[in-house]
Structure 1
Amino acid sequence: MASRVLRDVTKYKRSQLADRHQAFEARKAELLSQTEKSDDPIQTLLDGLKKLGLKSTTAATANGGYSLSNTSQMLIQSTFDASIPSALPSAWQADLERLLTIQSNKFEYTDLFSRLATEWVDKPNDANLLLGSPFGSDSTAETSDTESFESVQVGREEMYRQRREWDSFVFTERQTDTAAIEAYLSDLFIEPQQKKKVQKTPFDHLQTAFSKWNVTDDTCDSQDVEQAIKAVLRADLLSGRKRDELIALSNAGKGVLTEVADVINMELANLGDWSWKPSPTPTYMRKQINGKYRVYMNPEIHQALLLQYIGTRFAVSTKAIFKGFLRSKAWPKSAHSSMSSKDHARFAFYLRAHKTDFKDSVLHARREQFKDDFFLTQLPDKIEEGNRDYNAPGDSDDEDTDKKTPLEIKQTLLRLATTELMVQRKIYGSFTLCQTDFKWFGPSLPHSTIFTVLDFLGVEDSYIDFFKKFLSMSLVFPQDGPNAEPRTRLCGVPISQTLSDVFGEIILACLDFAVSKATKGRCQLYRFHDDVWFWGQKGDCELAWAAIKKFTGVVGLGLNEEKTGSVHISDKGPVRWGFLVLDPVKGRWIVDMANVDQHIAEMRLQFAQCRSVFSYVQAWNSYMGRFLGNNFAHPANCLGIEHLDMVFSTFKYIQKKLFEDDDNTTGCEDVTSYLKSVIEERFGTKDIANVFLYWPVELGGLELRNPFIPLMTARENSEENPHDLLEIAWERDEEAYDQWKQKFEKDRSKHFVDAPQGCDPEKFFSFEDYVRFREETSEALKLAYDDLLASPKIEGLENTRFVDYALNTLPLEFHASKHIKTKFSTMDVYWRWTVHLYAAEAMQRFGGLGLGEKEMLPVELVNLLRNERVRWQG
């Protein structure tokens, strides 16, 4: 296993480092002693430094390294040249002695980094032990695996409550009225007049496409296996040893992957005989960063890859089929107040335009964004995308695709809702915003509903039979002890399986269509998995809500009352997004501090169970560096600077409360002072450099994330008042109207020919008529709409000569760093800011930006451990 090899390598590196460090400190002490006794201390230092190999700080002389040769030459000159001040040689001596201190610092911090990495391996958190950490069996932690297991088992009543509720859904068969579902779908998809037509309807094409889908149209090869491995790792399906084995398999080479592909092809050829092997499948509860628990299967690797291969192909085909239906005439696409052909003719006449398709409009932008970002967004467009991890915590959105990540889509949803609120209130004077989701959607999906919908859409019976076997797996919870009884799943779909995503999206695509049809296209569901948002004018939202309620009753799902809220339409409850709640009076999002306080308590609990400094850093980065920032919303023009400053204040409040001790024993008020105190207590290292905490791992730092920097980079260009963007659009519409009117009146004589009915060739139409369909006709509104949806321009700190000098001293062995580059302009703005904050300390204490001895740093071991998601205490 890669992890064990890296651990052994780290142990060897530590022993070598200890020998080198000890030898250096002995020679250093001897040299300083000789220098103190020497009649020529500077020359003694020069000779000793050359023997130690310390010819420069961290880089070649041309790139800022310290030149011993220069000092030697100037020293000779000083013996003859009285113009050289007597104090200057003392400064030279101090510089030479500083080279020794720098080298000592590099040895010390390389050793500290290695000890911290070893601590992470030897003392895994309880949550990692429970899920089978690859290092768990050799743990030297203070408690045994059994004790750790028991400590997780007791105390968290919420886990037991959610487990009982999950069990009540999954192990209870929920029969739905299949005849009623078929009748509902027929009424939805098949228009009465269509039954009489010979020509195929859009739904006929949809059914035909589903009936022709076949997973064996292509042959699985090594590249397909490689893509499946990436998808399974991204989905976080496997943990501990199985994840470790899967990573090793991904690096095994084409020959091994081809053999795995051969096995998959054999299974595909006999799919009718497929079954879960071995059975039952072990199943675990994992606590998520948001406080919820989710139940993950832990299947054998070859089963996981086979199901991923099938699921990805079914997902891509499903999305392409439904997108074709979306583009068809069957799917209504009207605006809030759509222009008639007569209206188009009026605009064409008065503005002298031959065609008025108004593609540069808010209406067109809405349609395109819905299609690109929110229609079946859980499903991939291409095989190469693999899966779309809806449950990703937002700390590893690194998908190789131009498509928006799940995190970006969630942020887009908030921006859209906020922008539409501003635009529609400005145009219509009112706005209704609604949100809901389905209660325990994945576990509660009735199997009879899934198979009825698949059959109605035309999926072959042989595949439906396979899907039935897939869903009716036997499960066992190792947490229940050695005598735990296996139980068969009778309802719902397993998490982190692409096939599960397809089943859910197919059913909810029917809901998307039902709402669009009920509202004649004036309401679309902006849906991310089962999180449902819709907005518009009150009457349309009422129709949409009625369609949702009808659908829910027919297919056997339940709405989550706790997450059902609206502004303007009813008193169901507030509209929430992340840690924000919408103030319906002010029309702006505010932080829900009660929710924040709950998470502070949870954060303290989670941080307390971190047994190593690196695990604490990883937990901090997930919570403070990403999760909280994501759920307060990323900076956006529609939110403005007021929102940004509110988030600043909240982060400050969280950090103060997080380290506020009941008996005030820690004396720490922030994460920097806290980690310094922990490291000093455990490892005896005092006066820890700040740069060591915040510097990237590959340069010998802990890579602690600073949540304030991303906010600071956006603050300079944030909108003071986002509503001003709409005011400017309104003024531009007035200016444009005046220009069109002047042009019309100037050429009045040309307008008498072919004037459409209702158009006065002698009088330009009114401003009210001109702006009556702003969402379809106003380019100025479209510009404002785009601006409101956009992020403020990121503004980093200005480059300086010192920063350029510091970057130039980066040694060659560190040039592969992902974060710190030799050129300021090529770095991410976060790291540019970080360099400005900590480069001076790095230069002073380490002689450059590399904090340790590169070949001695166990960077790959740390990276391997960081690749697995944080496991939260349950």
Structure 2
Amino acid sequence: MASRVLRDVTNYKRSQLADRRKAFEERKAELLAQTEKSNDPILTLIEGLKKLGLKSTTAQTSNGGFSLSNTRQMLTQSTFDASIPSALPSAWQADLERLLAIQSNKFEYTDLFSRLATEWVDKPNDANLLLDAPFGGDSTADSSDTESFESVQVGREEMHRQRQEWDSFVFTERQTDTDAIDTYLSNLFIEPQQKKKVRETDFEQLQKAFNEWTVTATCSNDDVELAIKAVLKADLLAGRKRDELIALSNAGKGVLAEVADVINMEIANLDDWSWKPSPTPAQMRKQMNGKYRVYMDPEIHQALLVQYIGIRFAVSTKAIFKSFLRSKAWPKSAHSSMSSKDHARFAYYLGERKVRLFGNSVLHTRREQFKDDFFLMQLPDKLEEGCRDYNASDASDEEDSDKKSPLEVKQTLLRLATTEMMVQRKIYGSFTLCQTDFKWFGPSLPHSTIFTVLDFLGVHDSYIEFFKQYLSMSLVFPQDGPSSEPRTRLCGVPISQTLSDVFGEILLACLDFAVSKATKGRCQLYRFHDDVWFWGQKADCEVAWEAIKKFTAVMGLALNEEKTGSVHVSDKGEKVSNTLPKGPVRWGFLVLDPSAGRWVVDMANVDEHIAEMRLQFAQCRSVFSYVQAWNSYMGRFLGNNFGHPANCLGIEHLDMVFATFKYIQKKLFVDDNNTTGCEDVTSYLKSIIEERFGTKDIANVFLYWPVELGGLELRNPFIPLMTAREDSQEVPHNLLEIAWERDEEEYDTYKQVFKTTIKHQVDPPSGCDAEKFFSFEDFVRFREETSQSLKIAYEDLLESPTIKGLGSTRFVEYALNTLPLEFRKSKRIKTTFSAMDVYWRWTVHLYAAEAMERFGGLGLGEKEMLPVELVNLLRSERVRWQG
């Protein structure tokens, strides 16, 4: 494994470091002893420091370092010049001795960093051991590791419950009424023809495109590289296989060409393809949200083949359906839409120019955002995107694509729902928001439903046969022991595989169309995979809900009642619907308060996660694994699920999140028994490091500084909130008030132009008065289609507050300018303040002074001795949660 090679390199570095450190400390002690006895201590220090190679506090004296040669000259001057205070040479001596202390600190923290890295390798968490264990344990583990692993194998009650339920879906064939599905789809997609048309209908074009799809491209080296990246990104393989896949990606073109040859041979004989070897191992992994998911563990070449085919089918599927979305077959409208007569009236009173601006409206913005961000968002637009990584959306904020990541789409969903609630309440006086998802969607998808839908849409029979082989894999759980019997999958789709995403999205695209058609375009489904949201006016939502229930019944699916609910907010005293589902509407850790019409933190849910966090952190057997778990949980997961700062949420929401983070940290460390003896993560990590490694008075900068500069890179969850607070909206609703005022001003302008210019140029259409301008009520009746001011306010509400970090100072600029040359490739800390991410600008302000004081610069150790690559490799493995 690459980690073990790097560990050996690290051990060699540590031995070299130990020799250097020992030699330095001996020479340092000798020098200080000589200095104490010397008649000229400063000169003795200067000569001794030169012999030790310590010429300044930084790599380049010209950039502000403390120069030994300068000190020598000033010392000579002081013997003749009485104007130099007698206390000044003592200060010079203290500065020179500080160079020795700084070098000792660098050696000490380089060694500490190395020991922490090797601790991470030597003491993996039990959840990581589980991934590598073929049948109940890792043969390389010591006895304590094996005992710990066995405790994991027993597992938690919740894991066993979810495993049993998963088994009940996957290994039970679920037959659906395929004739009923065909009839349903025919009624949905095929319009009755008044007369025979030569031109193909929009649906016939869709069918033709699916029927003509084929894997025509020949797999190349580049394709293999893309497939490897996608499989790694999807986190399909873990442990040793993941390391092997990383090694394969770096193996060179010759090896990749051989893999491409194997894939091409498999494609050429796709009719005879099957999973080999069989059965395929499966494993349960705990997710950060508390759920368990079952991952397949196929051989590497099979994983790459299925990814190669899947990504091509996914890109083509999205392009085909997007073309259908743009067609006239897909209804698109607002709750109150303009008729042709209304268009004629507007054209008469406002002029053709206003009519041409209809695209600059909220309705147009909605359509584009739905198309770009939500429609089949699980599928990539191009081959280079790979998988969309839906399952890791809360654990990572990195995305290679230039389109919105799943995390960003999830944040957009919260902002859209909030903004629509504000806008529709302002226009119509009420708003209805509904939420649901499908119970065990992936494992519960009936194979008969999938193949019936694919056949109806026109997918060629040869590919349907391949998909049948793909889905009917034989599975075995190694954790069940060597005597466990393989079983064949009869239902559902494998997780974290692009082909599975395509099947799910094709099925749900039919639901998207069904709801849009039933509501005449007034309701669109905003889906995050199978997490379904829709909103609007109550009557439209009721129609949409009936369409969802009908689709669910026909396709053989079931809705998840625990995640199904609706909220009706009315300023007109309307009653809630009797037909819409009961229950709260939740987004992450937020729940919508119907009385206040705002999102609030669900503290009961937070308390449950605090208990889970204690459990997970207790399982971290190394300091670095604790830091990684903290960064995932506190640095990303919690912050993401409270909702990122947004104009529509305002400063009230931001302060609520601040208070919740403060509450979490206090409860996490200061529980009823105060078992940790600490009150925050900083003091806790310091105590752990001192207890395990004997290092006292740990520098704060060491905890929060980037890894490549010798720190642990612990994330501070308060900084991203602070950067948004200053420019957050005090009263978000005021943005709509401004839009309403601008509409009034625009009405007066058009009215004046009509009186002086327009009214006698053309004959008035039916219902229009040539002498009297239409009323303001008529002017704003279709605001969602006509008001540019509303569109501006709508888009402003969806935006984030302007990020405002701390301004630069002379000291910070000096510290950055004196960054040693060997550390200047850092992606986090850069020599120019404005070139850094706002998070790191803030961090530099907090900790640069301590770094300069204790380490003489922003690099905390001896660069060539720091095992940075080992730590980066270990950090690239996702956090594995204790089950």
TM-score, structure 2 length as denominator?
A: 0.97
The answer for the alignment partner of 1:513 in structure 2 is: 513
The answer for the alignment partner of 1:299 in structure 2 is: 298
The answer for the alignment partner of 1:21 in structure 2 is: 21
- The 8 Å contact of residues 170 and 491 in structure 1, kept in 2 or not, is answered as yes
- Structure 2 distance, partners of 1:352, 1:511, is 40
3-state SS, counterpart of residue 427 of structure 2: helix
| 1:320 is aligned to 2:319 | yes
- Structure 2 distance, partners of 1:110, 1:661, is 34
Cα-to-partner distance string for 1:742-796 (whole Å, 9 max, x where unaligned): 2222336x52632111111111110000000000000100010000000000000
- Structure 2 distance, partners of 1:275, 1:779, is 57
The answer for the alignment partner of 1:851 in structure 2 is: 860
- Structure 2 distance, partners of 1:670, 1:140, is 33
The answer for the alignment partner of 2:711 in structure 1 is: 701
The answer for the alignment partner of 1:281 in structure 2 is: 280
How much does 1:137 deviate? 5.2
The answer for the alignment partner of 2:170 in structure 1 is: 170
- Structure 2 distance, partners of 1:546, 1:483, is 48
CA 1:60–1:762: 2 relative to 1, 3 Å = same
- Structure 1 distance, partners of 2:382, 2:474, is 32
- The 8 Å contact of residues 437 and 564 in structure 2, kept in 1 or not, is answered as yes
- Structure 1 distance, partners of 2:150, 2:343, is 72
- The 8 Å contact of residues 393 and 406 in structure 2, kept in 1 or not, is answered as no
- Structure 1 distance, partners of 2:741, 2:852, is 54
Specify the code of the residue in structure 1 equivalent to 2:325: L
- The 8 Å contact of residues 126 and 145 in structure 2, kept in 1 or not, is answered as no
The answer for the alignment partner of 1:381 in structure 2 is: 381
How much does 1:860 deviate? 0.2
- Structure 2 distance, partners of 1:153, 1:642, is 45
How much does 1:139 deviate? 6.0
How much does 1:141 deviate? 6.0
Q: 1:866 aligns with which of 860, 866, 875?
A: 875
- The 8 Å contact of residues 133 and 241 in structure 1, kept in 2 or not, is answered as no
How much does 1:614 deviate? 0.1
Specify the code of the residue in structure 1 equivalent to 2:867: P
Cα-to-partner distance string for 1:533-592 (whole Å, 9 max, x where unaligned): 000011100000000000000000000000001012346101000000001111110000
Cα-to-partner distance string for 1:264-292 (whole Å, 9 max, x where unaligned): 10110001111111111110000000000
- The 8 Å contact of residues 3 and 121 in structure 2, kept in 1 or not, is answered as no
- Structure 1 distance, partners of 2:244, 2:772, is 78
Q: Any gaps of 5 or more consecutive residues in structure 2? A: 569-576
CA 1:457–1:75: 2 relative to 1, 3 Å = same
- The 8 Å contact of residues 124 and 141 in structure 1, kept in 2 or not, is answered as no
- The 8 Å contact of residues 580 and 591 in structure 1, kept in 2 or not, is answered as yes
CA 1:537–1:661: 2 relative to 1, 3 Å = closer
The answer for the alignment partner of 1:143 in structure 2 is: 144
| 1:692 is aligned to 2:705 | no
CA 1:139–1:626: 2 relative to 1, 3 Å = farther
The answer for the alignment partner of 2:126 in structure 1 is: 126
Specify the code of the residue in structure 1 equivalent to 2:259: V
- Structure 1 distance, partners of 2:797, 2:139, is 54
3-state SS, counterpart of residue 706 of structure 1: coil
How much does 1:349 deviate? 1.0
Cα-to-partner distance string for 1:353-387 (whole Å, 9 max, x where unaligned): 25445111000000000000010010000011111
CA 1:826–1:194: 2 relative to 1, 3 Å = farther
3-state SS, counterpart of residue 432 of structure 1: strand
- Aligned pairs for 1:619-698 within 5 A: 619-698=629-708
Cα-to-partner distance string for 1:232-273 (whole Å, 9 max, x where unaligned): 000000000000010011111122111111111011000111
- Structure 1 distance, partners of 2:829, 2:159, is 42
How much does 1:692 deviate? 0.2
Stretch deviating more after TM superposition (285-294 or 751-760): 751-760
Percent same amino acid among aligned pairs?
84
| 1:797 is aligned to 2:798 | no
- Structure 2 distance, partners of 1:664, 1:378, is 44
- Aligned pairs for 1:495-644 within 5 A: 495-568=495-568, 569=577, 570=580, 572-644=582-654
The answer for the alignment partner of 1:455 in structure 2 is: 455
The answer for the alignment partner of 2:720 in structure 1 is: 710
3-state SS, counterpart of residue 143 of structure 1: helix
| 1:780 is aligned to 2:789 | yes
- Structure 1 distance, partners of 2:318, 2:142, is 48
Specify the code of the residue in structure 2 equivalent to 1:605: L
The answer for the alignment partner of 1:729 in structure 2 is: 739
The answer for the alignment partner of 2:574 in structure 1 is: none
- The 8 Å contact of residues 194 and 201 in structure 1, kept in 2 or not, is answered as no
Q: 1:758 aligns with which of 755, 763, 767?
A: 767
3-state SS, counterpart of residue 533 of structure 2: strand
- Structure 2 distance, partners of 1:81, 1:752, is 96
Q: Any gaps of 5 or more consecutive residues in structure 1? A: none
- Structure 2 distance, partners of 1:611, 1:843, is 32
The answer for the alignment partner of 2:851 in structure 1 is: 842
CA 1:369–1:131: 2 relative to 1, 3 Å = same
How much does 1:194 deviate? 6.5
Specify the code of the residue in structure 2 equivalent to 1:628: L
The answer for the alignment partner of 1:183 in structure 2 is: 183
Stretch deviating more after TM superposition (245-254 or 634-643): 245-254
| 1:252 is aligned to 2:261 | no
The answer for the alignment partner of 2:240 in structure 1 is: 241
Cα-to-partner distance string for 1:429-482 (whole Å, 9 max, x where unaligned): 011100000000000000000000001111111111110000000111111111
Specify the code of the residue in structure 1 equivalent to 2:341: K
Cα-to-partner distance string for 1:459-515 (whole Å, 9 max, x where unaligned): 111111110000000111111111111111000000001000000000000000000
- The 8 Å contact of residues 348 and 356 in structure 1, kept in 2 or not, is answered as no
- The 8 Å contact of residues 122 and 138 in structure 1, kept in 2 or not, is answered as no
- Structure 2 distance, partners of 1:54, 1:724, is 61
- The 8 Å contact of residues 289 and 393 in structure 1, kept in 2 or not, is answered as no
- Structure 1 distance, partners of 2:581, 2:328, is 36
Cα-to-partner distance string for 1:311-359 (whole Å, 9 max, x where unaligned): 0000000001111111111111121111111111111111122544511
CA 1:195–1:119: 2 relative to 1, 3 Å = farther
- The 8 Å contact of residues 286 and 871 in structure 1, kept in 2 or not, is answered as yes
- The 8 Å contact of residues 122 and 140 in structure 1, kept in 2 or not, is answered as no
- The 8 Å contact of residues 714 and 794 in structure 1, kept in 2 or not, is answered as yes
- The 8 Å contact of residues 133 and 239 in structure 1, kept in 2 or not, is answered as no
- The 8 Å contact of residues 472 and 490 in structure 1, kept in 2 or not, is answered as yes
TM-score, structure 1 length as denominator?
A: 0.98
Specify the code of the residue in structure 1 equivalent to 2:303: A
3-state SS, counterpart of residue 567 of structure 1: strand
- The 8 Å contact of residues 170 and 443 in structure 2, kept in 1 or not, is answered as yes
3-state SS, counterpart of residue 334 of structure 1: coil
The answer for the alignment partner of 2:95 in structure 1 is: 95
- Structure 1 distance, partners of 2:661, 2:516, is 40
- Structure 1 distance, partners of 2:145, 2:821, is 44
- Structure 2 distance, partners of 1:60, 1:277, is 60
- Structure 2 distance, partners of 1:723, 1:141, is 62
How much does 1:58 deviate? 2.4
The answer for the alignment partner of 2:197 in structure 1 is: 197
- The 8 Å contact of residues 289 and 623 in structure 1, kept in 2 or not, is answered as yes
Specify the code of the residue in structure 2 equivalent to 1:700: G
3-state SS, counterpart of residue 392 of structure 2: coil
- The 8 Å contact of residues 122 and 141 in structure 1, kept in 2 or not, is answered as no
Stretch deviating more after TM superposition (385-394 or 271-280): 385-394
The answer for the alignment partner of 2:426 in structure 1 is: 426
- Structure 1 distance, partners of 2:311, 2:13, is 43
How much does 1:59 deviate? 2.1
The answer for the alignment partner of 1:493 in structure 2 is: 493
- Structure 2 distance, partners of 1:781, 1:358, is 12
Specify the code of the residue in structure 1 equivalent to 2:145: S
- The 8 Å contact of residues 347 and 356 in structure 1, kept in 2 or not, is answered as no
Stretch deviating more after TM superposition (350-359 or 104-113): 350-359
- Structure 2 distance, partners of 1:224, 1:582, is 45
